[in-house]
């Protein structure tokens, strides 16, 4: 595969991952009416672990998985605790206190932390363009979510301080997760690492669920809610992280993270397609700003960089 085709494939993976990620917040809202944030995080990690474990075995990667577990457990364990424990739990806690669109807007700020870190630590030649692109994309996020985000803030409706805190912490954890994932994925199979990461997150999540009073609610879900929960576990967790982690093997972390600016816009498009919500001019203008800012963040100071 040529460099150009490989780059297009990497970006296609990132776009698919963002589409799944964009559906996470609205899809998890009805589930949180029946389950606690800890139970949702536990169910997501458990379903993902079972699905990925089966695929790993079918691909004949069982030996490689055992080798990673026995000789190099720390990389997958640390990534799993960031991704499937902290990030997942903080996201579900935030959605339980805030509108899903507001959570999407706040967590979409995570690429800013990576861009600022890259500029501070490495001072890339295109740092000015990266900051400009990040700022334009973030302004687009605000425009897309103006009605559901900024107006809600000004009116003081539904903006629980705990939700804002959880969403901001989630944004920081996502930035750390992307930066660390870039290092962890070098020379490793993304599916194996993601599967092990899910497994490492299960003991602490089980302990938290037991401290909450057990898992009886998980076994009493209605049919539709169970279907959504399966989608959250397979699509928004297993497939999402495998695609994103695979792309991280070749795409720099700050550039991959910039794709997260698309998450709120994708959520709005899904709401239009499946919920009948209108596509307003502010939403369309914000979407164009997101895409334009994203393009700027993908520019490179050096052709081979």
Structure tokens at 287: 């979407």
Structure tokens at 239: 């497939």
If you search the block for the tokens 């500029």, which residue do you land on?
119
Q: Using CA atoms, how far apart are residues 109 and 102, in angstroms rounded to an integer?
A: 12
Q: Using CA atoms, how far apart are residues 263 and 145, in angstroms rounded to an integer?
A: 11
What pLDDT, in 10s, does the model give residues 248-293? Answer: 778 877 677 778 778 877 877 777 777 666 667 776 787 788 778 8
Q: What is the pLDDT of residue 2?
A: 62
If you search the block for the tokens 């629980």, which residue do you land on?
160
- Mean pLDDT over 177-202 rounds to 87
- How does the average pLDDT of the chain come out, rounded? 81
- Mean pLDDT over 58-67 rounds to 87
| Number of other CB atoms surrounding residue 64 within 10 Å | 15
Q: What is the pLDDT of residue 128?
A: 78
Q: Using CA atoms, how far apart are residues 225 and 218, in angstroms rounded to an integer?
A: 10
- Mean pLDDT over 144-166 rounds to 61
How far out from the chain centre does Cα 92 lie? 12
Whether the predicted pLDDT of 219 surpasses 90:
no
Is the model more confident about 277 or about 8?
8
- Mean pLDDT over 13-27 rounds to 89
Q: What is the pLDDT of residue 154?
A: 47
Whether the predicted pLDDT of 115 surpasses 80:
no
* Maximum C-alpha span of the chain: 56
Q: What is the pLDDT of residue 158?
A: 47
What pLDDT, in 10s, does the model give residues 229-259? Answer: 999 999 998 999 888 888 877 887 767 777 8
- Mean pLDDT over 71-92 rounds to 91
Which of the four pLDDT bands, split at 50, 70 and 90, describes residue 207?
very high
What pLDDT, in 10s, does the model give residues 122-151? Answer: 666 677 787 888 788 778 777 765 554 455
**CA quadruple 13, 15, 17, 19: dihedral sign:** negative
Which of the four pLDDT bands, split at 50, 70 and 90, describes residue 98?
confident
Is 192 within 8 Å of 65 (Cβ atoms)? yes
Q: Using CA atoms, how far apart are residues 263 and 102, in angstroms rounded to an integer?
A: 12
- Mean pLDDT over 91-107 rounds to 83
Q: What is the pLDDT of residue 262?
A: 82
Q: Using CA atoms, how far apart are residues 192 and 215, in angstroms rounded to an integer?
A: 27
Q: What is the pLDDT of residue 159?
A: 60
**CA quadruple 118, 14, 230, 148: dihedral sign:** positive
Domain boundaries, the chain: 3-297
Q: What is the pLDDT of residue 304?
A: 38
Which of the four pLDDT bands, split at 50, 70 and 90, describes residue 42?
very high
Residue 29's alpha-carbon distances to 92, 102, 187, in angstroms, are: 9, 13, 37
DSSP summary character for residue 170:
H
Residues of the chain with pLDDT > 90, as a percent, come to 23
Nearest to 181 by CA among 62, 68, 82: 82
Q: What is the pLDDT of residue 303?
A: 38
Nearest to 126 by CA among 254, 290, 260, 222: 254
Q: Which alpha helices (DSSP H) does 72-189 contain, by range?
A: 73-80, 88-97, 100-107, 110-122, 127-144, 151-155, 161-184
């Amino acid at each position: 595969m040529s460099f150009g085709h490989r780059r297009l494939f990497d970006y296609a993976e990132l776009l698919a991952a963002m589409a799944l990620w964009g559906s996470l917040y609205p899809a998890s809202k009805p589930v949180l009416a029946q389950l606690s944030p800890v139970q949702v995080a536990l169910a997501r990690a458990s379903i993902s672990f079972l699905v990925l474990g089966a695929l790993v075995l079918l691909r004949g990667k069982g030996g490689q998985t055992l080798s990673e577990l026995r000789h190099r457990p720390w990389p997958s364990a640390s990534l799993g605790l960031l991704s499937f424990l902290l990030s997942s739990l903080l996201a579900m806690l935030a959605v339980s206190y805030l509108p899903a669109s507001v959570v999407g807007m706040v967590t979409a700020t995570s690429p800013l932390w990576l861009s600022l870190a890259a500029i501070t630590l490495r001072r890339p030649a295109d740092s000015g363009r990266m900051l400009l692109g990040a700022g334009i994309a973030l302004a687009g996020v605000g425009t897309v979510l103006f009605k559901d985000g900024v107006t809600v803030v000004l009116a003081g409706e539904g903006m629980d301080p705990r939700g804002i805190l959880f969403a901001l912490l989630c944004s920081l954890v996502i930035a750390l997760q992307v930066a660390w994932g870039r290092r962890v994925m070098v020379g490793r199979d993304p599916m194996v690492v993601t599967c092990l990461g899910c497994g490492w997150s299960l003991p602490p999540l089980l302990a938290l669920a037991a401290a909450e009073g057990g898992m009886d609610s998980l076994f009493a879900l209605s049919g539709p809610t169970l279907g959504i929960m399966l989608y959250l576990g397979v699509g928004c967790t297993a497939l999402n992280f495998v695609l994103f982690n695979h792309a991280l093997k070749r795409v720099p972390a700050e550039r991959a993270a910039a794709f997260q600016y698309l998450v709120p816009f994708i959520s709005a498009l899904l709401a239009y397609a499946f919920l009948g919500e209108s596509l307003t001019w502010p939403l369309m203008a914000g979407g164009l700003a997101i895409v334009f800012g994203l393009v700027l963040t993908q520019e490179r100071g050096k052709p081979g960089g």
